[in-house]
Structure formats: structure tokens, C-alpha cells
């Protein structure tokens, strides 16, 4: 029956908008995508993909504990996110184990702790929605929290935009001219934890790292200018969220997975056809016709 | 009283030690440089050249000893942007999406407001610096599209735009074309006349003889330090390079 609606593009887009939960999901996911997309360009350039993976998984026990204690879950997530990074740094410094091993070890430990806690603490936590996200079932208090955290991250990133760019590019120079590199390091980590918290609502803990890596990687293939990279990253993240939610609505698919798949397809498109860095280099293809 | 002693020296490093997690990278190193002096830092790979630079810029902490920059602490040198560091080409991510203009503008960040909004004077300083390294035609070129020599000149321009009185250059002549080499040589003479202090690391012995008033030979610690004509002897070089003769390292002409 629903297939009839496909006959017009108009109804494909407008029909879902008649549902309150869909409007909320579209708005919230776009906001979350914008935040993650903004941060993504920094993480990609800093080479922090693995760190993003680690932090996003490590927030799991924080979310559970916060729920159990009736605290805002962002607070718990934040403490465990930053805590995991501190622990990674500590173990790396005090042992001969290599960094990627330490990262893998710590975040899986945290993640496992989170899963065990969920099973032990009797509460109304829905493990499925934490793991896979639930943008369609987002509550009003979550909406407020998401908007607050998103604005905070966007403001922080905007204020320190250029300093963070310098920190990613040449931290030694930053230090030499008296810029507080230590502060920038933890600022980026803080933003990463916060973005992971809001991101997990739309795509879940397992896939949130995609929100933090893929848009930046896509943008990196499409431009040589940092400002453009940020804009492309944000746009590609928002577009994938919208596509993902619509597709999941019409075809009854898992929403988080659909959003991330949409991002992956956009990345693949850039990978193949980016004007300068794509495999087929569209610019050259078109030049051939002139 | 102590401050007066230091005032003659732009850089004063006294018995500095640096270790990374207990592993000694540099120990009991000393260096004194005045305004207008060019000093060559010579040693094998892993001899502590980059560590020395890192200690002077405050990028790593020293575990022992004392560093004074213009008689002040490293931290106040950072605040005053007294030191500019020109990295090796290998030391930077050449694929970073950033243009020549924006790299050079980073030289001004330390003196800008928190949003790093360039003032008229910053724009002028960047323009002048880019002109001095002859890259005016590449203002908006991404650094990934530059040659090794042009990239080196970009970072030199950043140091010029910073208006630092002390320049630290890590292998300024490695991987550059003849034109850049000539331009850097000319700039060195200008810097010297402007009273800047230069510390450069190099593998090229001819450059040491050509430019450096002083030379610092290191192998985890100072092997020899002094006027190039006195200190840069085959015996000292042999000691610095762990017993390998300079003839073998640089050919019989050295």
C-alpha cells in the first residue's frame, strides 16, 4: 500500500512530516549530524579516528550509571569519555604496550563494563536504543539536552576554530607562540565526548564513530581548503541523516544503520568521483568532452 | 644581578637534560648565543638535535638545568613569540588542507585576539613575509601542491611574519631546490644583519663552513662547541659521529 506513495516525490518527502515523531527525529538528527560533522573535520586531520572510536564506546558505562542515579546521562558519558582517554595515556606511559593496543584494550573494557551494568542495574534503560540509537523515540528531556550540548560544542568549536586548526596542523608552532596546547588537546577531547553523547541518540554507541569520521573523510577528498572542508563535512552529515531517516521510514529499516550507510555511500561517491582526489577524477572526465 | 649576566645572551642553556620516560635523549648540554650569531647544530640522527630544539621552544620539559631566552624563562619567550621554529619538511602533514597565506598567518596568531582575527598590521606582515620568500604568486595555493623548496619557504615566511628575534631551523637545506637554497642563504645574511639569532641543524658540512659563526657538535651531550674555524675539526667530527671519519661521511673535500 505504501508503495503507491512512491509515485510522487512530493509525497515521499511530505508524508513522513505529518508525523510528530518524524519531524522531531529529522530535526534532532540534523542537529546532531551538524555537530558531529563540524568536529569530524578536526578528528580526521588530527588522525584521531581510533580515539573517536575509543571515546564513543567508553561513554557506555557513564550513560548507564547516570541513568541509574537519575543524573543527566551526558554528565556520566562525559566523565567516562574523558576518563578513558586519561587511562589510555596512563597505561601507554607506564607500560611497553603499543598505543593502538592500549586504546583497543581500554575501550572494550569500558564497553563491556557498560553492558554488564545494564544487565545488573534494574532500570528502564533500553539497551537496544543505546547500542543502535533511537532517533524516532527521542523524549522531550533528551531533546533539551541534545540542543544544549550541541549548541555548547558548536560555540566552543567556533570560538577556537583557528586555534584547533593550528593544533591539528602544527602543535609545536602553537606551543612556540604561547598558545595553550594542553588546553586545546582537552578541549578537543571534551567536544569529542559530548559529540559522542548526542551522536549515540541518533545512531547508537556502536555506529556513532561513523558520524565522527566519515563526514570529515568525505570532505577531505573534496577540497583543499579547511573552511570548505568544515562546510562540506557538516552538509554531508546532515544530508546523510535526512536520507537515512526517510529511507528507514519508507522501507522499515533500522534508522541508525541507514544514516551511517548513507554516509558511507556519499564517501564512496567522493572516493570514486572527487574532482581532484577521486579515482576517476571527474574534472578530467569532463575535460575530455571539451 | 643574575639577570644582568644573561642580558648579553639571546639563548642561554645551562646543563640541560631531557628524558622521555626515563630514556635519556640529551644530558648536560650547554649553549650560549648572542644577537647576530648563526650557530650550526651538528650530530647524527638521534643525537638529540630535535630534542634540543624542543627544549628551547618549551615543547618538551627539561628534567635538569636552566634555559634563559633573552634573560627570561621559556614560558615568557613563548608569550612574547621570541622564538620561531621552522620544521623539517618531513615534520609536517603536507596534505593538510591549508593555503600558503593561512600558514604564514599562523605566525601572527600569538599576537592576535582569541578569535585570531587578523588586523591590518597582521595582513601587512604576512604580505611582506611572503614577498621576502618570493611566493607572492602562490598566496592561495594549498601547501600540498607546492614543491619541497616552496614549502620550506612558506614556513620561513611564517617565521618572518612572527617577527621573532630567534630562529630555530631544522634541516633548512634538506630537500630543497637550488633556487630556494640561494634564497635561504641570502635571507640568513639579512637575518644576521637584522641582529637575529639563528640555530640551525644540518647534515651538510659545507653549509656549516659557509654560514655558521659557531658550531655545536652533539651526541646526546655536547662534544664540542665554539667558533667554527676552531671547533669544526676532523677529530671532533669523528667523535661526534661515533668514530666514523669525516672523509667517509662527506667525501675527501670536507
The structural domains of chain A, ordered by start, are 35-287 (1.10.3470.10)
HSE-up of B160 (CA within 13 Å, CB side)? 25
Query: Which residue has 667525501 as its cell numbers?
Result: B251
Query: Which residue has 542495574 as its cell numbers?
Result: A121
Residue B9 has a CB neighbour count (10 Å cut-off) of 19
Per-residue confidence (pLDDT) for residue A181, from 0 to 100:
94
| pLDDT tens sequence for chain A (290 residues) | 455 545 577 888 888 888 888 998 899 999 999 999 999 999 999 999 999 999 999 998 998 898 888 888 778 888 999 899 999 989 998 888 999 999 999 999 999 999 999 888 866 677 888 888 888 877 787 888 889 999 999 999 999 999 999 999 999 999 999 999 999 998 998 899 899 888 887 788 888 999 999 999 999 999 999 999 999 999 999 999 999 999 999 999 999 999 999 999 999 999 999 988 888 877 666 665 54
Residue to test with chain B: of A89, A176, A217, most B Cβ within 10 A:
A176
Residue to test with chain B: of A43, A165, A175, A177, most B Cβ within 10 A:
A177
Contacts B79 to A, Cβ<8 Å: 178
Per-residue confidence (pLDDT) for residue A283, from 0 to 100:
67
Q: Which residue(s) pair with B29 in the sheet?
A: B16
Contacts B91 to A, Cβ<8 Å: 172
> Does residue B116 register a pLDDT over 50?
yes
Share of chain B above pLDDT 70, in %: 93
Q: A189 and A82 in contact (C-beta within 8 Å)?
A: yes
State residue A164 phi and psi, 5-degree precision: -65, -35
Per-residue confidence (pLDDT) for residue B6, from 0 to 100:
45
Spatial distance between the Cα atoms of A211 and A214, rounded to a whole number of angstroms: 6
Q: Do A176 and B158 touch (CB under 8 A)?
A: no
Per-residue confidence (pLDDT) for residue A285, from 0 to 100:
67
Per-residue confidence (pLDDT) for residue A248, from 0 to 100:
93
Per-residue confidence (pLDDT) for residue B5, from 0 to 100:
47
Q: What is the DSSP letter of B44?
A: -
- Give CA A205 to chain center in angstroms: 10
Q: A113 and A91 in contact (C-beta within 8 Å)?
A: no
Per-residue confidence (pLDDT) for residue A108, from 0 to 100:
95
B110 and chain A: CB distance < 8 Å anywhere? Answer: yes
C-alpha cell at B236: 671532533
Tell me how close the Cα of B201 comes to any Cα of chain A, in angstroms.
Answer: 17
Q: Do A226 and B79 touch (CB under 8 A)?
A: no
Q: A149 in helix, strand or coil?
A: helix
A23 and chain B: CB distance < 8 Å anywhere? Answer: no
Q: What is the largest CA-CA distance in chain A?
A: 68
> Does residue B249 register a pLDDT over 70?
no
Tell me how close the Cα of A226 comes to any Cα of chain B, in angstroms.
Answer: 5
Burial of B219 (0-12, 13-18, 19+ CB in 10 A): middle
Spatial distance between the Cα atoms of B237 and B219, rounded to a whole number of angstroms: 10
Spatial distance between the Cα atoms of B17 and B12, rounded to a whole number of angstroms: 14
Tell me how close the Cα of B146 comes to any Cα of chain A, in angstroms.
Answer: 12
Q: A43 and A208 in contact (C-beta within 8 Å)?
A: no
**Among A265, A264, A282, A285, residue whose Cα is nearest residue A273:** A282
Q: A65 and A117 in contact (C-beta within 8 Å)?
A: yes
A174 and chain B: CB distance < 8 Å anywhere? Answer: yes
Pairing of strands B83-86, B166-170: parallel
Q: Out of A169, A173, A226, name the one closest to residue B85 (CB).
A: A173
Which of residues A220 and B246 earns the better pLDDT score? A220
CA–CA–CA angle B240, B46, B93 (5° rounding): 135
- The chain A residue lying nearest B100, using CA atoms, is A225
Q: Do A168 and B57 touch (CB under 8 A)?
A: no
Q: Which residue(s) pair with B42 in the sheet?
A: B217
C-alpha cell at B114: 582569541
> Does residue B254 register a pLDDT over 60?
no
**Among B188, B179, B178, residue whose Cα is nearest residue B156:** B188
C-alpha cell at B17: 637534560
Return the minimum-mean-pLDDT range out of A265-269, B41-45, B125-129.
B41-45
Per-residue confidence (pLDDT) for residue B248, from 0 to 100:
64
Per-residue confidence (pLDDT) for residue A140, from 0 to 100:
81
Per-residue confidence (pLDDT) for residue B22, from 0 to 100:
81
State residue B51 phi and psi, 5-degree precision: -60, -40
> Does residue B227 register a pLDDT over 90?
yes
Cα-trace Rg, chain A: 20
Contacts A223 to B, Cβ<8 Å: 97
Give ipTM to 2 decimals.
0.91
- Encode pLDDT of B139-171 as tens digits: 999 999 999 999 999 999 999 999 999 999 999
CA distances from B217 to B9, B54, B205 (A): 20, 17, 12
Per-residue confidence (pLDDT) for residue B4, from 0 to 100:
42
Q: Do A172 and B144 touch (CB under 8 A)?
A: no
Per-residue confidence (pLDDT) for residue B31, from 0 to 100:
95
- Encode pLDDT of B76-103 as tens digits: 999 999 999 999 988 899 999 999 999 9
Per-residue confidence (pLDDT) for residue A110, from 0 to 100:
96
A155 and chain B: CB distance < 8 Å anywhere? Answer: no
Spatial distance between the Cα atoms of B37 and B246, rounded to a whole number of angstroms: 25
C-alpha cell at A216: 570529515
Give the list of residues 6+ apart from residue A42 with CB closer than 8 angstroms, or none: A48, A157, A164, A165, A168, A188, A216
For chain B, what is the mean pLDDT? 90
Q: Do A175 and B79 touch (CB under 8 A)?
A: no
Q: Do B142 and A166 touch (CB under 8 A)?
A: no
C-alpha cell at B242: 661515533
State residue A31 phi and psi, 5-degree precision: -65, -50
Amino acid at each position: 500500500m505504501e508503495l503507491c506513495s512512491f509515485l510522487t516525490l512530493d509525497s515521499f518527502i511530505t508524508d513522513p512530516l505529518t508525523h510528530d515523531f518524524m519531524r522531531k527525529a529529522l530535526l534532532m538528527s540534523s542537529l546532531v549530524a551538524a555537530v558531529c560533522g563540524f568536529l569530524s573535520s578536526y578528528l580526521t586531520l588530527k588522525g584521531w579516528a581510533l580515539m573517536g572510536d575509543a571515546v564513543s564506546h567508553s561513554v557506555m558505562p557513564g550513560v548507564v550509571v547516570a541513568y541509574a542515579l537519575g543524573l543527566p546521562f551526558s554528565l556520566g558519558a562525559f566523565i567516562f569519555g574523558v576518563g578513558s582517554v586519561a587511562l589510555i595515556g596512563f597505561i601507554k606511559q607506564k607500560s611497553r604496550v603499543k598505543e593502538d593496543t592500549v586504546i583497543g584494550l581500554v575501550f572494550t573494557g569500558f564497553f563491556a563494563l557498560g553492558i554488564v551494568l545494564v544487565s545488573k542495574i534494574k532500570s528502564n534503560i533500553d539497551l537496544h536504543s543505546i547500542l543502535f540509537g533511537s532517533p524516532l523515540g527521542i523524549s522531550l528531556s533528551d531533546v533539551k539536552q541534545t540542543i544544549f550540548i550541541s549548541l555548547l560544542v558548536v560555540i566552543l568549536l567556533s570560538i577556537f576554530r583557528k586555534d584547533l586548526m593550528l593544533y591539528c596542523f602544527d602543535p609545536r608552532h602553537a606551543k612556540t607562540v604561547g598558545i595553550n596546547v594542553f588546553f586545546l588537546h582537552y578541549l578537543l577531547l571534551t567536544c569529542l565526548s559530548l559529540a559522542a553523547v548526542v551522536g549515540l541518540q541518533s545512531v547508537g554507541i556502536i555506529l556513532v564513530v561513523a558520524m565522527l569520521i566519515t563526514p570529515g573523510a568525505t570532505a577531505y577528498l573534496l577540497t583543499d581548503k579547511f573552511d570548505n572542508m568544515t562546510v562540506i563535512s557538516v552538509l554531508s552529515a546532515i544530508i546523510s541523516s535526512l536520507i537515512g531517516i526517510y529511507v528507514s521510514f519508507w522501507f522499515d529499516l533500522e534508522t541508525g544503520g541507514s544514516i551511517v550507510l548513507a554516509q558511507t555511500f556519499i564517501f564512496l561517491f567522493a572516493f570514486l568521483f572527487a574532482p581532484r582526489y577521486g579515482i576517476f577524477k571527474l574534472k578530467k572526465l569532463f575535460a575530455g568532452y571539451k | 644581578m643574575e639577570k644582568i649576566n644573561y642580558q648579553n645572551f639571546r639563548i642561554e642553556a645551562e646543563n640541560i637534560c631531557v628524558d622521555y620516560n626515563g630514556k635519556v635523549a640529551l644530558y648536560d648540554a650547554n649553549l650560549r648565543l648572542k644577537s647576530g650569531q648563526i650557530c650550526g647544530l651538528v650530530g647524527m640522527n638521534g643525537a638529540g638535535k630535535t630534542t634540543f630544539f624542543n627544549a628551547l621552544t618549551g615543547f618538551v620539559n627539561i628534567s635538569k638545568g636552566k634555559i634563559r631566552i633573552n634573560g627570561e624563562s621559556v614560558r615568557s619567550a613563548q608569550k612574547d613569540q621570541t622564538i620561531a621554529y621552522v620544521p623539517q619538511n618531513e615534520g609536517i602533514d603536507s596534505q593538510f588542507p591549508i593555503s600558503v597565506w593561512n600558514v604564514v598567518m599562523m605566525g601572527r596568531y600569538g599576537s592576535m585576539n582569541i578569535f585570531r582575527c587578523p588586523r591590518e598590521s597582521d595582513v601587512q606582515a604576512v604580505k611582506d613575509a611572503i614577498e621576502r620568500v618570493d611566493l607572492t604568486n602562490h598566496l592561495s595555493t594549498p601547501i600540498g601542491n607546492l614543491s619541497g623548496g616552496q614549502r620550506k619557504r612558506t614556513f620561513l615566511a611564517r617565521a618572518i611574519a612572527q617577527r621573532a628575534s630567534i630562529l630555530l631551523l631544522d634541516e633548512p637545506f634538506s630537500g630543497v631546490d637550488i633556487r630556494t637554497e640561494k634564497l635561504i642563504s641570502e635571507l640568513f645574511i639579512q637575518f644576521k644583519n637584522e641582529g637575529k639569532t639563528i640555530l640551525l641543524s644540518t647534515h651538510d658540512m659545507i653549509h656549516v663552513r659557509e654560514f655558521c659563526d659557531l658550531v655545536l657538535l652533539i651526541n646526546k651531550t655536547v662534544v664540542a662547541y665554539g667558533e667554527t674555524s676552531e671547533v669544526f675539526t676532523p677529530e671532533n667530527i669523528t667523535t661526534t659521529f661515533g668514530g666514523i671519519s669525516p672523509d667517509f661521511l662527506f667525501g675527501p673535500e670536507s
